[in-house]
Structure 1
Amino acid sequence: MSSRISGLSAIAPNYKGALCDIWGVLHNGVAYFDDAAVALQNFRKQSGPVILVTNAPRPNGPIKAQLERLGVPSDSYDDVVTSGDVTRSALIATGKTKLLHLGPERDLSLYDDLDVVLVGEEEAEMVCCTGLLNEFEETPDDYDDILQSIARRNLPFICANPDRVVQKGERMFFCAGALSDRFEAFGGETTLVGKPQAPIYEASLAALDAANGSPLDKSDVLIIGDSLPTDMRGGHYQKIDSLFITSGIHVADFGPAEAPDDAKVNLRLTHEDVETVAYMPFLGW
């Protein structure tokens, strides 16, 4: 049974480091949440380093720049690890060079300095999916033809963002994870590198150790996130304590955003077969 806490300060003394999600916890793509930034600042002062961990399918440089544009205080975190960072390693590991990019142009920085050539579907030896080309107008249904064609050819399919949806302001948009699900439904096999899979946690824990100056035991680490399939599932897979923020992508499932129904939250956690040390509507100290 997960209990609601009034602030991160209630459990922070139990930990020496944190892995915190970004989108839905620290900002909503339009503005950052001041209370969340203050909570992370206080955690860093009193407990230990904070690594921001995101399924954004770009290297951490552009994500740090985005945080700066949104006004996120730089002293609320120590470093950023992205799904894009670990995707680059996965692309190199294939040993292939002819790549079909399935996603918007803004994600092309993912391939900077990599030995890959962007080609069309017919020439492709592998596929990297970062999202929908036009998230404002398209749905996964629009990709059925190309996904079926890729599945028939058994092309390696790397999903650079396992998130199914993201909340931007007041709207929800589909992400690469939704296309990955559809691809698997057509018989294709995907490689997921972001949350909840191990590669991104290996990179994130390494960054946490570096910020701390010495290795931390997983029992001293707290995961903070708003997604059950990625953040909370990642905590379950890694056996790391998790704090669930209910006002993110699942907000509509639990009643009023400011006052989520305890029974509904715990029923959903049971249904997802994940455990959390506590939950909060919004991250705050």
Structure 2
Amino acid sequence: MFKNTAKVKKLKKRRTWIFLKATDFNSLMHPCFFICWLLGNFPYKYEPPEYSLCKSRFAFSTSMMFIYVLSLLAVVYEINITRTLDYGIPRMIYVNLFYFLDGTVILVMYVLTVARLSVIQNLSKISSILSAKDFKDLAKVIHTKDILGFLFLVGHVPNCFQHDISLTLRNFYCMYIMMVNFSIDMLYMNCVCVLKACLTKIDECIQQMKKLASNDDVWTQTFIHHGSPNILVMKLKNFEKKHLEISDIIELVNNTFMIHIIIVTIIRDDDLGM
């Protein structure tokens, strides 16, 4: 009986995910995390109130990376050694850049598994300052962006099938690279959106405190005169602490996704040049 009661309490703690609605960080990021897990890029589990590394998911992620590296070597060998594909020099350079640079991003993000976990954990904690309305507003943007973007890529999967099995496999490999890079972009953009919302929330609270201080200046001075702790000052110190925490998270996010951002910039420049 006690075991059943404990299970019921545990289930109640787990909040169900609803499209375009979010009540906390986990429900807000659910589509993003699910897509990342589907692609073998999310070796974490959520056990309220925090995220942790999951052995089974990490094994799945490692297996996907092993297959990915073998496929990358096979494709590079086919392009540069056997030269079964009739590519000109400019096209060959572009294809090599695509595989090497995008391939590097995926491998680097796998190596930064612990760093990504730290980003997610810190964002989950700092997002507690957001209200239910803030999460709901964010969900409308993040859920729509993530799901529509992923469905757009999935819609191109039938185009991967060709008359040649080798070409079909290569197309699926390229599609996987694009999907994983999309999931990394998606995670980075979601982190930025959450951080922006947190900074906006702090700014709104400070503005409200300014109005309170100006409208009730006599009460504030009396409060200080009697030697009681100044609530406004205490709140300001708390907001300052939160702001410093957000600044640290911003630095962590930038350091974690720096290589990805640089490589994406290089690839886009190459696309414009082509």
- Pick the TM interval, shorter chain: under 0.3
- State TM-score, norm by structure 1: 0.23
Q: Larger % of helix: which?
A: 2
- State TM-score, norm by structure 2: 0.24
Larger Rg: 2
